[in-house]
Amino acid sequence: MVQEVQQPAQPTLVGTSIPRQDGPDKVTGRARYAGDQPALGLLYARLVTSPYAHARILGIDTAEALSLPGVVAVFTAETLGMAQANSASRAQSPLARQEVLWCGHPVAVVVGETEAAAEDGVNAVEVDYDPLPAAIEPEAAARPGAPPARVHQEVESAGESPIPGFPQPTAVAAEEGSSNVRRFRPMAMGDIEEGLRQAEVVVENTYRTHLVHQSYMEPHSVTVSPSPSGHHLVIWPSTQGLFSVRAAVARATAMPERQIRVEPVPIGGGFGGKETLLEPIAAVVASRLRRPIRLIHTRQDDLLAGNPAPQLVMTVKLGAKRDGTLTAIQARMLVDSGAYPNFLAGLSGFHFFGAYRCPNIAVQCDVVETNKPGTGAYRAPAGPQTYFALESSVQDLCQQLEMDPLQFRQINALKEGDPNLMRGSWPRIGLLECIEQIQQHPLWTQRAQARQDIPEDLRGWKIGIGAAIGGWQGGTEPAAALCRLEMDGTFTVVVGSVDVSGSDASMALIASDTLGLPVAAIDVTHDSTDSMPYSGLSAGSKTTYTVGSAV
């Protein structure tokens, strides 16, 4: 008889702390970002922006700006000639054509030999505006008779949703509400009316969140260098998606993607706000002038015209039996998408299906366009906002039931095998295990004493002990990696992700564990879009799941 000998488990490095490869350059100031890339013959671009939230453009006079020393060119929407100039995408149609749609909307781009010359040119451009009524607050903008956020509607679609098979919003009929509103198909499981009838306790609350800028340290920045013929472009962008920049620039310039090379550079923060914004306009200007172009948002530009998280209005209605069993979750959401469509807005509704086991759930998500900048993500598209509303309502329900909040969550938390609206059934997600760990944590078990320890003058003011749960369905998009054995026995790991928050260190640890080598023998690098493997956006809390699995 042959008996298999069990080998002792190898110690794992994953989960340990290691020095980051990019650490020394960043802490000593040697790191070179998108706005630091040298280029021979470099020109500087600055944007002329609107002081009005909504106005017609009656005329743009660029003559004085062009007469200034050091000003090379001034482009408007009509003279720049972007390939998708009539698109509903901000990146593809960045300059206002007939009307400005928010305060900070670019109307022209000035190119100068120096940053000062470009700034002087911006101040010399004269724009004649005819102010229009503006739609600012989402609830007011969604009411019948509200001023339209966009007078001229004859723009092409922004394209398909970035998520294959994801529902598209449709316009709301005039008799139902405002022309500013687009409606997503309702998401539902079970019979919400029956669930509310079964409930012995019902709570209903409305929550409002506000537009939030991601406040990254480095503003939106890009440097673009064309070949002498203008048929090839090299781009250094501050972005969370190198391949998405290449695709967007190819569309804007009507160039094949193979003629566009995007180089990875350190990124000074993104948090969901840096996908593609300035790269297409900078690329078109560089192609037109056949000179390298650098375009950097000022901090004011970035605050006025970045990709902030949207403002939301959410009404949440929960029903439960006296024993704490949820019978109904109903939500109505109004998502302020600013002046442009936001396909990711529909994702917000799925969060109401991602925490609790409930047989009857119904979510309606409407998107309203307002005269504010187009919106993006901030640490998950609408995730923090929707869980804030859901968990606040759960807390209210627990108080009505006079039930311990963790006991309620134990009764209703999703577990493996429960129905999943998107994927059939849930895999193991560890939510119940997390709740059990919280129950045993000293901060929770000793919370009554902790309240007593709070100084009397601070009790009830910004100090408290509570519990909330939330989740995110990460791991979307495919990813690939290249691991190359070098002559000296070390390995080079080539990935296409962007190291926003130390993900390269994670890749090194994963490769080290897999190969059985010390971390010092692993070098993580990125190359360019010409040679790096595809990794998708470094967003959605998915890089370790997807690129890590590929490594």
Domain of 281, CATH number, reads: 3.90.1170.50
Domains held by the chain: number:
3
CATH code of residue 203: 3.30.365.10
Tell me which residue range forms the domain holding 442.
406-458
128 and 50 housed in the same domain: yes
> Of 284, 300, 316, which marks where a domain is finished?
300
233 and 127 within one domain: yes
Please tell me whether residues 100 and 248 are part of one structural domain. Answer: yes
Q: Is residue 373 located within the same domain as residue 260?
A: no
Q: Is residue 546 part of a domain?
A: no
User: Is residue 314 in a domain?
Assistant: yes
Shared domain for 114 and 259, answered yes or no, is: yes
In a domain, 145, yes or no: no
Asked if residue 221 belongs to a domain, the reply is: no
Same domain, 187 and 327: yes
In a domain, 292, yes or no: yes
The answer to whether 268 and 218 are in contact (CB under 8 A) is yes
In a domain, 88, yes or no: yes
Instruction: Indicate the residue among 300, 330, 360 that finishes a domain.
Output: 300
Check whether residue 318 and residue 380 sit in a common domain: yes
What pLDDT, in 10s, does the model give residues 247-275?
999 999 999 999 999 999 999 999 999 99
Residues 6+ apart with CB under 8 A from 527: 264, 494
Do 107 and 174 have their domain in common? no
Structure confidence at residue 160 (pLDDT): 45
Spatial distance between the Cα atoms of 312 and 340, rounded to a whole number of angstroms:
15
Residue 11: pLDDT band by 50, 70, 90 thresholds?
A: low
User: How many CB atoms are closer than 10 A to CB 5?
Assistant: 5
Q: What is the pLDDT of residues 336-353, one digit of tens each?
A: 999 998 877 777 888 999
| Residue 539, amino acid | A
- Enter the tokens of residue 372: 């504010």
**Is residue 266, in this structure, part of any structural domain at all?**
yes
321 and 276 in a common domain: no
What beta strand segments (E) does 239-290 contain? Answer: 260-262
Q: Show the tokens assigned to 100.
A: 């400005």
87 and 236 inside one domain: yes
In this structure, the answer to whether residues 390 and 432 fall within a common structural domain is no
Q: pLDDT at position 173, please?
A: 55
- The per-residue pLDDT for range 500-515, each reduced to its tens digit, is 889 999 999 999 999 9
If asked whether residues 315 and 393 sit together in one domain, one would say yes
In a domain, 507, yes or no: no
Instruction: Report if pTM > 0.75.
Output: yes
Asked if residue 405 has pLDDT above 80, the reply is yes
